[in-house]
Structure 1
Amino acid sequence: MVTINSSIVIISLPAIFRGLHLNPLEPGNVGYLLWLLMGFLLVSAVFVVTFGRLGDMYGRVKIYNLGFIVFAISSVATALDPLDVGAGAMWLILWRVLQGIGGAMLFANSTAILADAFPATQRGMALGINQVSAIAGSFLGLVIGGLLSEWHWRAVFWVSVPFGVLGAVWSWKSLQELGERRPGKLDIPGNLTFAVGLSAVLAAITYGIQPYGGHTMGWLNPWVLLGLIGGTVLLGAFCIIETRVADPMFDMSLFRIRAFSAGNFAGLLASIARGGMQFMLIIWLQGIWLPLHGYDFESTPLWAGIYLLPLTVGFLAAGPISGALSDRYGARWFAGGGMLLVAATFVGLLLIPTDFHYWMFALLILLNGVGSGLFSAPNTSSIMNSVPARQRGTASGMRGTFFNSGTSLSIGLFFSLMIVGLANALPRALTDGLTAQHVPHATAEQIGNLPPVGSLFAAFLGYNPIESLLGPSGALGTIPKANADTLTGKTFFPHLISEPFHHGLIVVFTAAALMSVIAAIASMLQGKKYVHDDSVDAAVAAEIVEESVVR
């Protein structure tokens, strides 16, 4: 449910913007678009470790149950949005932030609860099913969002309500505390430096893709630089604080465990690559391929979700099997091999044309889903198996932070890479294409020199921007009707942007392939199958107690 909500809004944004009467191409509205995506992800990434630590202290099931309640209440509030235009968008953003807090409560403790309940010989299977549910949710959200947004944009938020209520009742009645509570104090300095530092970095990356001072992106914006530098300094201070407090939020000693540190590093890279791929495939389908094949822009979110189904099928087929097999044979070959397969599919996506034959595209994303499935469950089980039972809540929260931070980072990183690719080719393509349709050269050149982020978001939303771009100049009324109809039709903008978009894809998918290869290497470095022996910890603790009694 949490990860469905992280992706269901992505594909439903056109319907949400129409429902709130917001023009997505107005510069001031880009911020609403970004924060509707980022608010939920950022808060989930920031608070997931805190709630993992609180689960260790007060009970993982207790925090988990509370997460369902918070999630259900905030889902009702978003669906009942009483406002319109910018105020309506802010209402959604604020309640999505609270929804992210509920999601963090659930995400931080679910894997720890399962790790407590299952022995090491079955833990990979159990955590595999959990991880498959999580990542499959991010894929299924695209299909569900496409279907529900065709009906009504509010249905995108209502769909979470019955699951939130059912989950709260079901977990309250069926789950029992099996984990050992670990009393202690909440690490206030660590929580503050981590929350502010990570929020500053992720927010700066988000605003870095917006134009600033005549530049196509905002990386020279003083506020962006302040967020990046200040956030990095605070995260550095956080690492120092965590080595000196009695009850750290992040137990830095866990990084001495090779399976834990290598697994989280691989998980972070895989999450960035997977999140970036989702955005690029949505842009590709909604903004280019579907309109070129006769689909109306209004219906592209639904069909984009349907055409991405092979990705989900591949993941669901491979995930549970790899989780069960990793219990027997260890994680590294499944996780490493899965990420190499993912890297190969990114290369394949580079080689097919922008206007592809669907069977080629479907095969590549099917294999990508298989590779992600092979990686995800073994990676999770290897991380959770490697830590002591008393620290599973903290470890689960730390793993969740890397997972959610990767998805958040992917938005800024991959959009930035795409804009770099577009900036070299899109201005000339726009100018030449408009001039060929008898748009005055001065107007065409002016539009061609606009920051490419507007065209990118138009493609992302399955939206033809030409009419909006030409409207203020009145150029549509001065050219022959046949040319005006061509400019505002289904295929002109997709044809125009397809070649520049492919230049951007080369940059983006090359980076994603490299990340996947590095994640595969990190997975192989995890070592052979390793399960932390809690009986040794118990024996050591008993010896310490006995020695203190003797003294």
Structure 2
Amino acid sequence: MATLDASIVIIAMPAIFRGIGLDPLAPGNISYLLWLIMGYLLVTAVLVVALGRLGDIYGRVRIYNLGFAVFSATSLALSLDPMHGAGGALWLIGFRILQAVGGAMLMANSAAILTDAFPTEQRGMALGVNQIAGLAGQFLGLVAGGLLATVDWRAIFWVNVPIGVVGTVWSYRSLREIGAKRSAGIDWAGNLTFTCGALALLAGITYGIQPYGGHPTGWTNPMVLAMLGGGVLLLAVFGLVENRVADPMFHLGLFRIRAFAAGNAASLLTAIARGGLQFMLIIWLQGVWLPLHGYAYESTPLWAGIALIPLTAGFLIAGPVSGYLSDRFGARTFASSGLLLMAASFVGLLFLPVDFSYPVFAVIVFANGIGQGMFSAPNTSAIMGSVPPERRGAASGMRATFQNSGMSLSIGIFFSLMVTGLAGSLPQTLSSGLQAQGVPGPVAGQVASLPPVSTLFAAFLGQNPVGHLLAPSGVLKTLPRHNADTLTGTQFFPHLISGPLHHGLAVVFIAAAAMAVVAATASLLRGRDTHRDGGRGTDRSPKPAPVRDDAAHQA
């Protein structure tokens, strides 16, 4: 439920903005769109470490149960948005941020609770089910958002309420603390510097997507540069603080454990590649492939989610199976092989034409899902099994931070790569294509000079891109009916953008493949695998390096 909510809103956004009466692509409104997408991701990425640490101190089950209650209450509040226009958007953004606090409580402690509950020889299977449920939620949200939005945009939040209420009651009645609590003070300096630094860095990346000063992206915006620089500086201060306080929030000593450090490095790179894949495939499907095959733009969000079902199926099949097998044969082989399969699938996507054959596409994305499933469960099990029991809450939060930060980073990195690629060729292509259909030169030039991000977001939101771009000028009403129908049909824009889009996709998929290969290398460096001895799990992984603890100076 917590990860599903990160993606269910993406597909339902056209219905949401129609419901509150706001055009998200109008000048000055795009920030509402970005914060509705990114706010949830940013908060979960920033808070999971602190909430995992609080789980170590006050009890993982207690924080997890509270997360269910917060998530359920804020879901209800989101569905009851009483305002319209900018006020309605701010209501949604504010309660999405509060909802993300509940989601972070769940994400930060679930892996630690399972690690406490299961013995070594069953842990990979348990964490595999948990991890794949979470990752599958990201993609199932694409389908659920499309289906529920056709009923009512509020339904995408209603669906959480009964599940959340039942989950809250169940968790309070059934879950018990079996992990050891560790009495310690709260690291206020570490919490403050990390939260502010990570938030500034990720917010800077978010605003870097927006155009600025005639540039297609905002990476030259002084505010963006200040956020990025200030974020890096605060995180550097955070590192200094954590090496000096008695009870640090972020146990940097855990990175001396090779399996923990290598697993998290691989997880971060994989999350960046996975997030980029999700957004690029949605834009590819909604902006080009589905319209070319006769789907109306308004229906493309739902059908894009359906087209990506093979990707989700790969997750669901490979995750628990690889978790079970990694309990028997070790994590390193499965995790590293999964990443290499992911890299191969990115190369396969690179060679697909823009108007691809769907069965070939389905096989490639299914292989990508299998690769992600093979990696995720064993990697999580190896990370959580490598740390001392009393550090599992903090370790779970740190693991979730790398994973959630990767999603946020991927949007900034890959969207910028895509926009930069389009900015070089799209304006001339768009201008000549519009003029060929009778659009006056000045109007065509003005439309072509608009930042490519507007065109991409129009397709992303299920709007007719050319109709959206030409609406302010009113030129469609003056053109002959045939030309107007051609411009707003399902063939003109996809054929127009296919060349520039393919160039942008090539850059993205090459970068994603390179990240997957680097992640596989990090995974191979995690150390020796776990093996089974006489039917009972015996861990031959390197002994954890001592973790700093100023009270006892021992792990």
- Cross-structure match for 1:147: 147
Secondary structure of 2:422's counterpart equals: helix
1:14-93 alignment runs, 5 A limit? 14-93=14-93
2-structure distance, mates of 1:359, 1:226: 47
Deviates more, 1:434-443 or 1:493-502: 493-502
- Cross-structure match for 1:510: 510
1:360-375 alignment runs, 5 A limit? 360-375=360-375
Secondary structure of 1:365's counterpart equals: helix
What are the ranges of 5 or more consecutive residues in structure 1 without an aligned counterpart? 546-551
Q: Is the 8 A contact 2:341 2:371 kept in 1?
A: yes
Secondary structure of 1:2's counterpart equals: coil
Q: Is the 8 A contact 2:529 2:540 kept in 1?
A: no
- Cross-structure match for 1:424: 424
Deviates more, 1:186-195 or 1:283-292: 283-292
TM-aligned CA deviation for residue 262 of structure 1: 0.4
TM-aligned CA deviation for residue 533 of structure 1: 9.4
What are the ranges of 5 or more consecutive residues in structure 2 without an aligned counterpart? 531-537
TM-aligned CA deviation for residue 297 of structure 1: 1.4
1:4-403 alignment runs, 5 A limit? 4-403=4-403
TM-aligned CA deviation for residue 93 of structure 1: 0.5
Ranges of 4+ aligned residues in structure 1 off by more than 6 Å: 531-534
TM-aligned CA deviation for residue 447 of structure 1: 1.2
TM-aligned CA deviation for residue 532 of structure 1: 7.4
Secondary structure of 1:472's counterpart equals: helix
Q: Is the 8 A contact 1:53 1:397 kept in 2?
A: yes
Structure 2 residue identity aligned to 1:398: M
Q: Is the 8 A contact 1:67 1:105 kept in 2?
A: yes
2-structure distance, mates of 1:275, 1:27: 27
Q: Is the 8 A contact 1:4 1:141 kept in 2?
A: yes
2-structure distance, mates of 1:204, 1:461: 23
- Deviations, residues 402-451 of structure 1 (Å, cap 9, x unaligned): 01111111111111010011111111110111011011122212211111
Q: TM-score, normalised by structure 2?
A: 0.95
Deviates more, 1:30-39 or 1:461-470: 461-470
TM-aligned CA deviation for residue 472 of structure 1: 2.8
2-structure distance, mates of 1:529, 1:466: 55
Secondary structure of 2:511's counterpart equals: helix
TM-aligned CA deviation for residue 475 of structure 1: 2.2
- Cross-structure match for 1:461: 461
- Deviations, residues 171-190 of structure 1 (Å, cap 9, x unaligned): 11111100000110110000
Structure 1 residue identity aligned to 2:89: A
- Deviations, residues 76-121 of structure 1 (Å, cap 9, x unaligned): 0001111112111111100000000000111111000000011111
Q: Is the 8 A contact 2:140 2:312 kept in 1?
A: yes
- Deviations, residues 231-284 of structure 1 (Å, cap 9, x unaligned): 000001101111110000000000000000000000001111111111111111
Q: Is the 8 A contact 2:142 2:305 kept in 1?
A: yes
Secondary structure of 2:3's counterpart equals: helix
Deviates more, 1:371-380 or 1:325-334: 325-334
Identical columns (%)? 64
1-structure distance, mates of 2:421, 2:462: 20
The root-mean-square deviation of aligned C-alpha atoms, in Å, is 1.7
2-structure distance, mates of 1:467, 1:34: 22
Q: Is the 8 A contact 1:25 1:465 kept in 2?
A: no
1-structure distance, mates of 2:464, 2:23: 12
2-structure distance, mates of 1:238, 1:124: 32
1-structure distance, mates of 2:313, 2:478: 50
1-structure distance, mates of 2:471, 2:529: 63
Deviates more, 1:54-63 or 1:441-450: 441-450
2-structure distance, mates of 1:425, 1:143: 33
2-structure distance, mates of 1:246, 1:445: 62
Q: Is the 8 A contact 1:287 1:461 kept in 2?
A: no
Q: Is the 8 A contact 2:455 2:469 kept in 1?
A: no
Structure 2 residue identity aligned to 1:314: G
1-structure distance, mates of 2:31, 2:227: 16
TM-aligned CA deviation for residue 25 of structure 1: 2.2
TM-aligned CA deviation for residue 467 of structure 1: 2.4
Q: Is the 8 A contact 2:528 2:540 kept in 1?
A: no
Count residues with an aligned counterpart: 539
2-structure distance, mates of 1:490, 1:152: 26
- Deviations, residues 262-311 of structure 1 (Å, cap 9, x unaligned): 00000001111111111111111112111111111111111111111000
Structure 1 residue identity aligned to 2:346: F
TM-aligned CA deviation for residue 122 of structure 1: 1.0
2-structure distance, mates of 1:416, 1:214: 15
2-structure distance, mates of 1:118, 1:378: 14
Secondary structure of 2:473's counterpart equals: coil
TM-aligned CA deviation for residue 4 of structure 1: 0.4
- Cross-structure match for 2:472: 472
2-structure distance, mates of 1:396, 1:284: 34
- Deviations, residues 445-498 of structure 1 (Å, cap 9, x unaligned): 221111111111112112113223223333223322210111122222222222
1-structure distance, mates of 2:37, 2:470: 28
Q: Is the 8 A contact 1:38 1:408 kept in 2?
A: yes
2-structure distance, mates of 1:416, 1:183: 45
Q: Is the 8 A contact 1:425 1:503 kept in 2?
A: no
Secondary structure of 1:140's counterpart equals: helix
TM-aligned CA deviation for residue 376 of structure 1: 0.2
- Cross-structure match for 1:549: none
Structure with the larger helix share: 1
- Cross-structure match for 2:533: none
2-structure distance, mates of 1:471, 1:372: 42
